[in-house]
């Protein structure tokens, strides 16, 4: 007989089985096997919020298989993920299988490698009931808010709406920013920008008007600009002050969950859910040529910046071999984890730092490779020497006016030879300057006044929203992907390029929540709830008392809102179409039901005419010449198909354009990416071009 090891996913089971050998049977639970019922509240509010768990529908056969294997084994080890959710899954499995939770039958793996699995097997422990209770408290809180508040919103605004403890705050943050943008009043300002050439040189460099010898001057209109320009006619330009120095630029720390999601959004264009899917696969194990199944990264749900000494040494050895000693810092780098973070796991790093991305590229999918490369480069770079820069700042005087120029040159590239962190909004970059000296005369090549207007704050992107949620203590990094998917999937928020914009539904819902449930959408209150859950996890707070503290006020507020809004229904605007109802002659409108958007006659209930909403692209089908329409997969992913289906079977994930192929005359498809390109799908044609061509 062998011991039974239960993990969550088949990929993880396969990788761990390879390391454990024949004495163990490794099986996957496929995530949670027991949960609150989908169709009922399943929480006994009057009996200290006692949850009513049941086997998840469709998993009965799997549970029976787990029970049969457990009975025939020498023992059961629960090896689910090392976090709150994983601990709860192990606790539910222990209940179903009749295991003693006081025995050492719980094991965790920070990385799915031979070393990581061996270390985990050598350190079994009991199930951490504080972690379990923190998960139960979160699950019950979210269930109470969802099941109590969602029907209220559905009744008052639109059928099928949902509310959530974290999602409602996320929508509020986006709505608040939209209101800031609308309220923003642009202010005019001017700059005077000049270009100079040092005498005896051909190098042109730029400088910007600063003020006069008394200090900075703000230029607010064209009249003031023209006056300064007139006074500068035929002026002599001389460098009156020159400051040279050096500065060090240090590498960013290794990734935690939130920074990984932000950087993958900025640099790879990945949505948070896509990032976490690829990260989960890299953690659980990939079949690598000549190595077999191996987990390539450490656990990806973490807010700790701790790095093991072994990993630091491995990174240092790789840097020394590839770039040499000068690329190593004097002492290895350690990073301080922010206050309040859980320190149960290391930062996200490659499990084998010496395994560079090019060595595993052929074994990975595109997403897996891009994300592994990002994680690997960030980690290796964090153990490299600083980038050294030589800086120059020059004050240029003409009559009593001062211009300023600044720039730098890299004297040692350090970690930037491998990696530099992306930015949400690219700051204006300093340029390099020619050799300048104090009292040097400069030749004016060009000078002009430029009008500007102050800009409103930008809309949130996924990256900046995740950053805002983290900074405000809303949710936890492991929940961000699901939160963003929920608020976009339920149309509280739409994407416009990378920007997140609230819909009318999102704004109306937020307004109602602010008026009637101020605590639910209050950022500080929601952050405090997260702190309370952390306190439960650390064993300092009773989880049932936390639920009582929250629910008493929430229930009272809900009852008052229902009383205040009795008989009130909030009407959303309906988008009118050009389609005329053939039954009554009215212009039909776009409505939203439980299964999505459709077209209906506004004369309901007298006229009940409805139609399917078809979104045309304006492109012709490259196969039959029919209309190409927008469609959605079961998972909500947009694709394109021919309106003549099933007569024509054309479908594509890439968007058909209105451009025609110059060779065969068929519609070109556009493949998105860092370098978008157009291509023809006609057999034997093969035409393609980049977007710039």
Give the position of tokens 């951490």.
128
Told to judge if 299 belongs to the known catalytic residues of this protein, a careful annotator would answer yes
CA dist 46 and 35 (Å) reads: 20
C-alpha angle 519/522/527, rounded to 5°? Answer: 105
Tokens coding 254: 């290794």
3-state secondary structure of 600: strand
CA dist 49 and 346 (Å) reads: 35
CA dist 207 and 288 (Å) reads: 54
3-state secondary structure of 347: coil
Q: Which helix (H) or strand (E) holds 18?
A: helix 10-20
Give the position of tokens 């790095």.
307
3-state secondary structure of 430: coil
Residue 147 to residues 141, 543, 595, Cα–Cα distance (Å): 10, 20, 20
Catalytic residue among 237, 283, 299, 408: 299
Neighbouring-strand partners of residue 652: 640
582-586, long-range: CB within 8 Å, 24+ apart, which pairs?
582/609, 583/607, 583/609, 584/609
Give the position of tokens 């927008």.
630
Residue 578 to residues 575, 581, 587, 588, 590, Cα–Cα distance (Å): 10, 10, 6, 7, 11
CA dist 333 and 411 (Å) reads: 22
CA 425 to chain centre: 16
Q: Please name the residues in contact with 53: beta carbons below 8 A apart, sequence gap of 6 or more.
A: 34, 35, 36, 42, 92
Active centre residues (catalytic): 299
């Amino acid at each position: 007989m062998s011991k039974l090891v239960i993990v969550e996913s088949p990929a993880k089971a396969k990788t761990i089985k390879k390391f454990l050998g024949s004495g163990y049977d490794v099986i996957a639970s496929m995530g949670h096997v027991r949960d609150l019922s989908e169709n009922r509240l399943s929480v006994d509010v009057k009996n200290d919020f006692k949850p009513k768990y049941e086997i998840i529908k469709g998993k009965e056969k799997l549970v029976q298989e787990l029970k049969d294997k457990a009975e025939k084994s020498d023992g059961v080890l629960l090896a689910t993920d090392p976090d709150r959710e994983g601990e709860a899954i192990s606790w539910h499995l222990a209940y179903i299988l009749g295991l003693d939770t006081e025995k050492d039958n719980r094991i965790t793996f920070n990385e799915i490698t031979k070393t990581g699995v061996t270390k985990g097997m050598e350190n079994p422990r009991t199930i951490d009931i504080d972690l379990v209770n923190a998960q139960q408290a979160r699950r019950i809180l979210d269930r109470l808010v969802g099941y109590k508040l969602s029907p209220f919103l559905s009744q008052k605004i639109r059928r099928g709406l949902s509310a959530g403890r974290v999602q409602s705050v996320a929508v509020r943050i986006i709505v608040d920013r939209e209101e800031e943008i609308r309220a923003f009043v642009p202010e005019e300002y001017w700059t005077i920008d000049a270009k100079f050439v040092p005498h005896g040189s051909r190098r042109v460099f730029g400088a910007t008007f600063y003020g006069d010898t008394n200090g900075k001057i703000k230029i607010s209109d064209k009249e003031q600009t023209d006056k300064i320009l007139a006074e500068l006619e035929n002026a002599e330009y001389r460098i009156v002050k020159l400051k040279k120095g050096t500065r060090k630029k240090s590498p960013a720390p290794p990734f935690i969950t939130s920074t990984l999601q932000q950087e993958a959004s900025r640099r790879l264009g990945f949505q948070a859910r896509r990032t976490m899917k690829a990260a989960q696969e890299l953690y659980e194990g990939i079949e690598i040529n000549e190595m077999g199944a191996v987990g390539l990264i450490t656990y990806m749900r973490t807010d700790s910046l701790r790095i093991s000494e072994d990993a630091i040494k491995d990174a240092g050895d790789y840097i020394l071999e590839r770039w040499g000693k000068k690329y190593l810092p004097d002492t290895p780098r350690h990073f301080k984890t922010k206050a309040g973070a859980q320190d149960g796991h290391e930062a996200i790093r490659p499990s084998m730092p010496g395994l560079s991305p090019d060595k595993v590229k052929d074994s990975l999918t595109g997403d897996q490779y891009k994300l592994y490369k990002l994680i690997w480069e960030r980690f290796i770079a964090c153990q490299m020497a600083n980038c050294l820069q030589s800086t120059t700042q020059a004050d240029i005087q003409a009559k009593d006016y001062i211009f300023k120029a600044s720039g730098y040159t890299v004297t040692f590239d350090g970690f930037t030879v491998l990696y530099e962190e992306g930015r949400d909004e690219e700051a204006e970059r300093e340029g390099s300057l020619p050799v300048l000296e104090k009292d040097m005369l400069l030749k004016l090549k060009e000078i002009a006044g430029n009008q500007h207007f102050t800009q409103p704050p930008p809309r949130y992107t996924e990256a900046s929203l995740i950053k805002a949620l983290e900074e405000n203590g809303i949710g936890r990094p492991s929940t961000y992907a699901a939160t963003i998917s929920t608020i976009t999937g339920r149309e509280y928020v739409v994407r416009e390029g990378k920007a997140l914009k609230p819909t009318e539904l999102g704004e109306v819902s937020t307004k109602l929540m602010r008026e009637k449930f101020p605590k639910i959408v209050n950022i500080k209150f929601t952050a405090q709830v997260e702190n309370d859950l952390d306190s439960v996890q650390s064993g300092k707070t009773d989880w049932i008392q936390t639920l009582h503290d929250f629910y008493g006020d929430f229930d009272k507020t809900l009852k008052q809102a229902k009383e205040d809004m009795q008989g009130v229904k909030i009407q959303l605007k309906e988008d009118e179409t050009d389609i005329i109802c053939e039954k009554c002659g009215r212009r039909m409108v776009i409505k939203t039901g439980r299964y999505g958007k459709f077209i209906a006659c506004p004369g309901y209930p007298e006229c009940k005419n409805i139609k399917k909403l078809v979104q045309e692209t304006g492109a012709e089908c490259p196969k039959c010449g029919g209309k190409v329409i927008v469609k959605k997969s079961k998972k909500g992913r947009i694709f394109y198909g021919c309106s003549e289906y099933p007569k024509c079977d054309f479908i594509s994930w890439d968007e058909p354009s209105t451009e025609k192929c110059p060779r065969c005359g068929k519609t070109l498809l556009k493949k998105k990416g860092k370098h978008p390109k157009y291509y023809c799908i006609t057999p034997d044609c093969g035409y393609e071009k980049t977007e710039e061509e």
